[in-house]
Amino acid sequence: MISKFQIASKNLLRKKTRTGLTLVGIILSSWVLVSLLGFNRGYEKALNRDIDNMGYQIMVMAKGCPYEAATMMLQGGAGLRYIEEDVVKTIKARPEVDKVTPILMQAFFDPNKGDGGGIAGYFGVDLATFPAMKPFLRFHKGGWFADANAAEAVMGYEAAELEQREVGDLILVPEKNVQLKVVGILQRTGTQDDGTIFVPLRTLQKISGLDKITTIGIKAKKDADLTGLEASLYQLPDMQVVSFSQVKQTIMKLIATARVMVLSIAVIALLIAMVGVVNTVLMSVLERKHEIGILKTMGAMPGDIFRLVWTETLILCASGGILGIGLALVFARLSDLLVRRALPYAPGGELVAIDPRLSLLTLLTIVAVGLLSGMYPAWKAGRIRPLDSIRSDA
Amino acid sequence: MSASNSIALEARDLTRIYGRGSEEVRALDGVSLQIRKGEFVSFMGPSGSGKTTLVNLLGCLENPTSGELDLAGRRIFGNGEVVGERDLTRIRREIFGYIFQNFYLIPTLTVRENVALPLAFYRKPGVEGEVEALLKQLGLEHRMNHLPGQISGGEMQRVAIARALVNRPEILLADEPTGNLDTTRTGEIGEILQQLNRSTGLTILMVTHNPDLGRLGGRHIEMRDGRACEA
Ligand SMILES: Nc1ncnc2c1ncn2[C@@H]1O[C@H](COP(=O)(O)OP(=O)(O)OP(=O)(O)O)[C@@H](O)[C@H]1O
Ligand SMILES: [Mg+2]
């Protein structure tokens, strides 16, 4: 015939504007909530991925601020000091070490890059060890260099895209006027590798007029004692050790405050929306005092009325929550963009990660909080006595 | 035994005192009466004489201050304890249907849904098809998919009557059912009530200010200052 659910939902349609506005409040707050939760999760995941995709857990470089160095490395920075190449052998000899690769980072000013020029990041890498350390690098086109001294380059996806390079093209190293032949273009990784140009280590050393390196990437053996290894690496003279778990911790600490604030905002938004729900439902209960009284003359128990009004809250919160989460999913990339702008360091890839589990969790939270706030109006409605409805307008 | 079976309700010394600030209002002052099944009783009397108070007590909408009430031989009030809202609801939905001066239809539900509304909360066994039957009986079939805002006042009260009857109550309580209607509609509703009383043996207790309507009942009770006297 007619169910309580129908009665409740039709009642919500009575005051469309009021219901609509309340709904908008819930939609917005669930959108914010799920996006922020998604960010909390996605950022850490993206950061982890960035760090895993470095291929090495520990980096050794000449003394300097390690965090700055790490950030520079992640962003393809410049101005680093140099290390003698034999250090590689010393490190390789340690029992915990699985793989070691020497890297020379160079940054050249390219006047043709962007508006008013920009820094082009070049990585001199060792053909024998670097690809092995990053087996997950896939080629979009071409492959690694022919030999360790080739005048060749492998370009990150974005670097190639930016300069419109194809395999076979010749590129000119800025400042040095040396030509290199593009032999490979990497697939997009979502990391800083995308913007880097890789050159054989010897070739880059020759171009730069150096016989040193800037960095050593170290991959420890499985189950090796990382802390012990780090400690022993610290014994090397004038060397800075950067462990990526440390870097990650530092970055996470930096954004922790931001995350707490952002979550507080989400919680406040949710609370405001819920106050709206209480207000709307309470108003509609008071307006319907007569009708509710009449329902009681028809045999509705206080519990029936409670559930009826509670159902209204449920409908509001569930539909608002679903719509809000839906919007958050649709506009996840937009949120990503906004978040990326606001952050000092943003890893590549998806920052706002909203998966079905998180969506469900958010929805359940909203419905639970909604049901909680719906209790008062529902209880109030349940207590209306039939006589109130007949007497109060006599 | 058979005599008590035909008694729909019996009130003894029903009294209801309302506190209004520090003074007390004796809205009902020791009313005793017996109503048989199938009777059509009209209550008349000046404003404030206690008509509504009386039918509300008889209809178990509230507890009396003192006195006793039996429904179909069963003691409801007068056990020395106040009957709780849940128990009153149980009694009401078994025995009574109510209509009032205001129709209190749910504006978002159609005529048909309004009539079926009580069934969402309580359904007496054997009332299947009652909605359709009542819509037909009360001449509302062609209106059943209309919303209350789209029908006339007389039709609205007919919907309210159908809604009150959908769970087949034994007693219909009508407190000024035509208070909001013009003469023509009043006659219409009167006829319907009389017809229901005659054809189904429905017991009707009706409060009215309208003498023509009051005359329809087989029995008249005149209220004055909280007391009842048989006319
Ligand atoms: N809830 C209440 N609180 C205080 N006084 C009340 C209350 N309900 C009724 N009364 C008083 O009790 C008396 C009887 O009221 P009642 O409504 O029963 O009269 P009535 O005969 O139905 O009048 P009317 O014809 O105007 O409907 C009146 O004096 C009224 O003011
Ligand atoms: Mg009255």
Q: Tell me the whole-structure pTM to 2 decimals.
A: 0.73
Chain A residues within 8 A (CB-CB) of chain B?
1-4, 6-7, 10-11, 13-14, 290-291, 293-302, 304, 385-387, 389-391, 393-394
- Among A173, A186, A197, residue whose Cα is nearest residue A142: A186
Structure tokens at A164: 């419109």
Q: Which residue CA neighbors atom 29 of ligand 1 most closely?
A: B48
**Residues A73-92: pLDDT tens digits?**
555 445 557 888 888 888 88
Residues A159 and A208 in one domain: yes
Residues A149 and A298 in one domain: no
**Cα–Cα distance between A105 and A116 in angstroms, integer?**
23
Q: Is the pLDDT confidence value at A51 over 50?
A: yes
**Cα–Cα distance between B163 and A307 in angstroms, integer?**
21
Residues A260 and A384 in one domain: yes
* Inter-residue contact A226 to A245 (CB < 8 Å): yes
How many domains does chain A divide into?
A: 2
Which chain A residues are Cβ-neighbours of B116 within 8 angstroms?
Answer: 1-2
Select the residue of B107, B131, B167 nearest A299 (Cβ to Cβ).
B167
- A262 assigned to some structural domain: yes
Select the residue of A4, A300, A390 nearest B100 (Cβ to Cβ).
A390
Q: Which residue CA neighbors atom 31 of ligand 1 most closely?
A: B48
Share of chain B above pLDDT 90, in %: 84
* Inter-residue contact A141 to A185 (CB < 8 Å): yes
Q: What is the mean pLDDT of residues A328-351?
A: 78
Q: Is the pLDDT confidence value at A54 over 90?
A: no
Q: Is the pLDDT confidence value at A71 over 60?
A: no
Q: What's the CA angle centered on A375, arms A373 and A381, to 5 degrees?
A: 125
Per-residue pLDDT, A314: 93
Beta strands B7-20 and B66-71, pairing class: antiparallel
Mean pLDDT score across all residues of chain B: 92
Residues A210 and A255 in one domain: no
B131 to chain A, closest Cα gap in Å: 9
A391 CB within 6 A, ligand 1: yes
End position of a domain, from candidates A237, A267, A292: A237
> At CB < 8 A and 24+ separation, what contacts does B67-70 make?
B67/B11, B67/B12, B67/B13, B67/B14, B67/B15, B67/B30, B67/B31, B68/B11, B68/B12, B68/B13, B68/B14, B69/B9, B69/B10, B69/B11, B69/B12, B69/B14, B70/B7, B70/B9, B70/B10, B70/B11
- A258 assigned to some structural domain: yes
Q: What is the mean pLDDT of residues A170-195?
A: 87
B201 CB within 6 A, ligand 1: no
Share of chain A above pLDDT 70, in %: 92
Residues A366 and A227 in one domain: no
**Cα–Cα distance between B14 and A240 in angstroms, integer?**
97
Query: Predicted ipTM?
Result: 0.89
> Are the beta carbons of B118 and A299 separated by less than 8 Å?
yes
CATH 3.40.109.10 fits B38-66+90-230, yes or no: no
Per-residue pLDDT, B105: 93
The type of residue at A310 is W
Which chain A residues are Cβ-neighbours of B48 within 8 angstroms?
Answer: none
Q: What is the dihedral of CA B145, B105, B51, B137, to 10 degrees?
A: 10
**Residues A291-314: pLDDT tens digits?**
899 999 988 999 999 999 999 999
- A59 assigned to some structural domain: no
The band of A238, judged by pLDDT with boundaries at 50, 70 and 90, is confident
Q: CB count, 10 Å around CB of A249?
A: 11
| Closest ligand 1 atom, residue B176 Cα | 27
Per-residue pLDDT, A67: 44
The CA-atom distances, in angstroms, between B90 and each of B82, B85, B93, B119 are 15, 9, 5, 14
Residues A329 and A377 in one domain: yes
- A242 assigned to some structural domain: no
Domain locations in chain B?
38-66+90-230
Q: Which residue CA neighbors atom 12 of ligand 1 most closely?
A: B27
Q: Is the pLDDT confidence value at A344 over 60?
A: yes
Chain centroid to CA A269: 21
Per-residue pLDDT, B12: 95
Q: Which residues surround ligand 2, an ion (CB under 5 A)?
A: B 52
Residues A225 and A267 in one domain: no
Q: What is the dihedral of CA A179, A184, A185, A186, to 10 degrees?
A: -130
- A54 assigned to some structural domain: no
Residues A311 and A370 in one domain: yes
Quote the domain boundaries for residue A271.
4-49+251-391
* Inter-residue contact A285 to A292 (CB < 8 Å): yes
- The DSSP code for A83 is B
How many residues are given for chain B? 231
